[in-house]
Amino acid sequence: MHRTAPSHLTDYWDRYKPQHLHEGPPPEVDAFEWTQYPGHGPGAELLGSPATALELGCAEGREAVVLARSGVHVTALDFAPAQVSRARRWWKQVPGLEVREAEACSYLAYTRTQFDAIYSVWGAVWFTDPEQLLPLVVGRLRPGGVFAFSQAEPVAEYGPQPMRGKWLEGGDSELTVLRWQYTPESWADLLKRHGFTHIDAKVLPAPEPDRLGTLIVRAERPAGLPHP
């Protein structure tokens, strides 16, 4: 069975972008964006030409929709019920897209499916201990498969950092989640230690001065690595 996320975490993410949780038409989606700045940086080409892909922490599901519309069969995960419900409501007519409610590590440990690409856009990779996540990811990639993710560029301190927000009804409850921040060099070392090759980890500067850049990481599972 899939492990469920602690209730305080699902509460946190169910309140993320609450204005988007109400009934209404889906947004226009026409580009795969790794950064927080529309039209800035690379697109889906970082994933190569996958036939299948797994997104970890899909939230609104925008990138999954772009891939599915291009012919990729996409499984998009999120553990927050309201996020999953919204994504399913918005994109139920998109062929090749399956939105599932599941915690990333639990799903990766449970499924026997192998994917051509596994990716995360400011998603679950940022909020999951890499020592737990990376061996599961590499085990669910096909030989030569691509793992790619993005998140905010690291600043000041590294490792697991608390992120707080008052997003519950009434705004009086402050919830805390952890996000893992490392330099590109540290990410490269982590990925290499867990069996990845062809690693490219870098910070893409923001398009305007004094704005936060984006960490973008891409790696591959080598063909000769045995599956667990």
Q: Domains in the chain, ordered, with CATH?
A: 7-22+30-220 (3.40.50.150)
In angstroms, rounded to a whole number, what is the distance separating the alpha carbons of residues 150 and 87? 20
- How much is the pLDDT for 5? 47
Give me the phi and psi of 107, to 5 degrees please. Answer: -65, -45
Q: What is the pLDDT of residue 178?
A: 83
Cα(13)–Cα(112) distance, integer angstroms: 27
| Rounded CA separation 106/208 (Å) | 39
Looking at residue 24, its pLDDT comes to 73
The closest alpha carbon to 95, from 121, 62, 73, belongs to 73
Contacts of 25 (CB under 8 A, 6+ apart): none
pLDDT value for 169:
44
Average pLDDT of adjacent 10-residue blocks, the chain of 228 residues: 47 51 77 96 97 95 97 96 90 96 95 97 94 97 97 80 54 67 96 97 95 97 77
